[in-house]
Amino acid sequence: MLTKKQVLENNEDKKILINAVIKNVGMDNVENINNHGIDGGYSGFIYYSDTHKFAMRYRKYIVPMLEEQAEEFGEDVVKMVSGFGVFRSSPMDAEDKKDLYKYLGGGRCEQSMITNLMAWYAAEEVCRMFDN
C-alpha cells in the first residue's frame, strides 16, 4: 500500500479530494474499503445527509475524475455510472438520470441516490489510489 505522501505526490490535482476522504475514513480503513467497498459504514459516508454534503462540496473534483475514468473506459459518464453496483439490481430510472445530469452540469441537486453514489464513488476511487 502506498503512503499518503506518495499518493498526494502522484495526484496533485486531486489533493483536496484525497485529504477530504482520508479525513473522514482514516488511513486505517483504506485497505478495508479497497477489499469490501465503502458501504460498510465509514464516517462521513453513512447517511444521505452526509454523503450529499460531501458530493456537493467536492463536486468540482469528483466530476473531472468521473469524466477521466469514463474516457479511459471508452464510455460516456452516464453509461459508466449506470453500471455502478447500486444500478445492477435496479436500473437507473429517468429521475436518477435527471439528477445525474444536474450533478454533472453543476445544477442544484437535491439529496438523492445520485449524490450518495457520487460521494461513495469518490471515496472508493481515492482509496484505490493507495493500492499498489
pLDDT in tens, 93-116: 889 899 999 999 999 999 988 999
Confidence of residue 39 (pLDDT cuts 50, 70, 90): confident
**For the chain, what is the domain count?**
1
The rounded distance, in Å, linking the Cα atoms of 18 and 32 is 16
What's the rounded mean pLDDT across residues 65-93?
A: 89
Q: Which domain holds residue 32?
A: 4-128
Query: Of the candidates 120, 41, 56, which has an alpha carbon nearest to the alpha carbon of residue 85?
Result: 120
Q: pLDDT exceeding 70 applies to what percent of the chain?
A: 100
**In a 10 Å sphere around its CB, with 0-12 CB exposed, 13-18 middle and 19+ buried, how is residue 84 labelled?**
middle
For residue 89, pLDDT over 80 is answered with: no
Write down the pLDDT at residue 41: 85
For residue 43, pLDDT over 90 is answered with: no
- Cell of residue 115, nine digits: 449524490
What's the rounded mean pLDDT across residues 36-56?
A: 91
For residue 9, pLDDT over 80 is answered with: yes
For residue 74, pLDDT over 80 is answered with: yes
The rounded distance, in Å, linking the Cα atoms of 71 and 69 is 5
No. of H helices and E strands in the chain?
A: 9, 0
